[in-house]
Amino acid sequence: MAFIDTHCHLNDPQAFPDPAAAIAEAQEVGVDRFIVIGIDQESNERAVRLAERFDCVFATVGWHPNACGQLPPDAWDRLRRWLTHPKVVALGEIGLDYYREHTPRDRQREALLTQLDLAAELGKPVVLHCRSAYGDLLDILESRPPQAADFHCFSGDAADLQRILALPSVIGVDGPLTYPRADALRALVAGCPRDRVVLETDSPYLAPHPHRGQSNHPRWLPRIASALAELWGTDVDAVARQTSDTATRFFGLPSLP
């Protein structure tokens, strides 16, 4: 088995004071590559540094909707420079958040559009955050030229999923897939084309059952894979192969030897 954790926050120094140890623990259970997600200036810098330090780590950089209320004057110049780094594989985590709304909606949309334009210019896929805003986010994406998008931690309904699948996109599944009351999500994921799904942990958030409420860790990715294998009526090895192939293609990762 060789899993790829397509969305983790190993750049969070409080949750992962020793990222090397966290990586080693995950590798022991078959998680061999990690995409570390940036959300603001500090986390972007840490994500890039981790990618430089570890061959198995890749980075994304971006301004999260809850972090784009007061951007530094050089925010977009910095983002453009980071995106030229050979181990930065996507722009994100970007999107809309109408649940917490730490940033006014008009400012979220402005930052999102700027970043979508930059990703399109540089030929990078985007990693999308969406809470209580699928309608508006999909309206924006459908009004633009098709753009490769990873819908991180998919939590939409059947209509949202159909609109997503009409785009050049994938959905990220993580801990909520294992929650006892997540039958509606499981039904949607079960029917989703298998080559449109990637695995993620979002660690340290959204720990899978039975660890819900604890600090999440990439080493628990196989638990999510097991839940997906059950939905697909296959084994965990097949899930590892399919989701890793999809992630490798979508993010342009180098193939394993």
| pLDDT tens digits, 102-117 | 899 999 999 999 999 9
Structure tokens of 205?
């958030």
Pairwise CA distance, residues 8 & 221, whole Å: 10
String of DSSP letters for 6-25? EEE-TT-TTT-S-HHHHHHH
Q: Do the strands 169-173 and 197-199 form a parallel or antiparallel pair, or are they unpaired?
A: parallel
Please give the model's pTM, rounded to 2 decimal places.
0.97
Single-letter code of the amino acid located at 117: D
Domain boundaries defined on the chain? 3-251
Question: Nearest CA to 129 among 194, 64, 185?
Answer: 64
What is the C-alpha end-to-end distance of the chain, expressed in Å? 14
- Ordered strands of the 57-61 beta sheet: 3-8, 31-37, 57-61, 88-97, 126-131, 149-151, 169-173, 197-199
Is 85 strand, coil or helix? Answer: coil
30's torsion region: left (phi>0), alpha (psi -120 to 50) or beta?
Answer: left
pLDDT per residue as tens digits for the range 174-191:
999 999 999 999 999 999
HSE, side-chain direction, 13 A CA sphere, residue 162 = 3
Identify the CATH class of 3-251: alpha beta
pLDDT per residue as tens digits for the range 16-52:
999 999 999 999 999 999 999 999 999 999 999 999 9
- Residue 256: pLDDT band (50, 70, 90) is low
What Rg do the C-alpha atoms of the chain give, in angstroms?
Answer: 17
Residue 4 contacts residue 198 (beta carbons within 8 Å): yes
pLDDT per residue as tens digits for the range 57-113:
999 999 999 999 989 999 999 999 999 999 999 999 999 999 987 899 999 999 999
Indicate whether 257 pLDDT > 60: no
pLDDT at residue 102, as a whole number: 87
Pairwise CA distance, residues 245 & 252, whole Å: 10
